[in-house]
Amino acid sequence: MPVVAMVLSIPFTLVILAAVLALSAVAEQRVLSPRAMVIRVVRARRTSPDFVEAFVARECAPLHARRGS
């Protein structure tokens, strides 16, 4: 029985690792991306227009620089 458990634990561990990597990629794209952060700040109710403008300009400058390259 312990041999079977050890043999089955290797594929199970690989599946768990793949799931964690996939979830972290989704979180990075949808939650932590510069675009998602800008949208979240723009939609926030407690931020001032000056802060939103400065934040959007600061976050979008590298994005525009990357596109222009």
Same domain, 68 and 42: yes
Between 51 and 68, name the one with better pLDDT.
51
Q: Whole domain around residue 56: which residue ranges? A: 33-69
9-25 residues labelled b (16+ CB within 10 A) or e (exposed): eeeeeeeeeeeeeeeee
Q: Are residues 28 and 39 in the same domain?
A: no
65 closest CA partner among 34, 26, 21, 38 = 34
CA distance 47 to 32: 19
40 and 12, same structural domain?
no
Does this model's pTM top 0.75? no
Number of domain units in the chain: 2
**Range of weakest confidence among 9-13, 17-21, 25-29, 41-45:** 41-45
- Residue 23 and residue 42 share a domain: no
Mean pLDDT for the chain overall: 85
**Same domain membership, residue 11 and residue 26:** yes
Spatial contact of 55 and 38, defined as CB atoms under 8 Å apart: yes
